[in-house]
């Protein structure tokens, strides 16, 4: 069972569907590992660049990170753009995974864009 700290470097996304009729989308990402959750900043456009880093404490055998892409709306509820699930076993084994592109899928599991993320695992002694 891996124990330590996982650093998730959220780099960028591209090809996201524009859910807004008249405006550009304002995407952000909700990163979730078990009950731990982080939220990225909101960026304008369908090809956002974040270059943000988030830390998660790993203390069990759950091996999936969920990235939920949302579109920030001012007067209505934020729109769901899609999500990517990242299996963490490779980063636990390798120690790090360089910038990698993951498919973003909607509720029907249809492709709706890409997200680029790098991962680093710092094991606890």
Domain segments of the chain as ranges: 4-123
**Which residues on adjacent β-strands are paired with residue 65?**
86
Count Cβ neighbours within 10 Å for each residue of 26-38 and write b for 16 or more, e otherwise: bbbbebbbeeeeb
Per-residue pLDDT, 97: 97
**Which residues on adjacent β-strands are paired with residue 77?**
none
Per-residue pLDDT, 20: 56
Q: Which CATH architecture has domain 4-123?
A: Sandwich (2.60)
Confidence check: pLDDT of 38 > 80: yes
Per-residue pLDDT, 75: 85
Confidence check: pLDDT of 78 > 90: yes
Instruction: State mean pLDDT over 59-76.
Output: 90
If pLDDT is split at 50, 70 and 90, which confidence band does 62 have? confident
For residues 25 and 72, give the distance between their C-alpha atoms in angstroms, rounded to a whole number.
7
Instruction: State mean pLDDT over 47-72.
Output: 94
Confidence check: pLDDT of 22 > 70: no
Rg, C-alpha atoms of the chain: 15
């Amino acid at each position: 069972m891996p124990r330590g700290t996982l650093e998730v470097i959220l780099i960028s996304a591209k090809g996201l569907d524009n859910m807004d009729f008249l405006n550009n989308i304002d995407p952000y990402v909700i990163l979730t590992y078990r009950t731990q959750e982080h939220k990225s900043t909101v960026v304008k456009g369908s090809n956002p660049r974040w270059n943000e880093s988030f830390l998660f404490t790993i203390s069990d055998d759950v091996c999936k990170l969920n990235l939920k892409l949302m579109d920030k709306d001012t007067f209505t509820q934020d729109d769901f753009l899609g999500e990517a699930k990242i299996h963490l076993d490779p980063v636990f084994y390798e120690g790090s995974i360089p910038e990698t592109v993951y498919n973003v899928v909607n509720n029907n599991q249809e492709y709706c864009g890409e997200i680029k993320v790098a991962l680093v695992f710092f094991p606890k002694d």
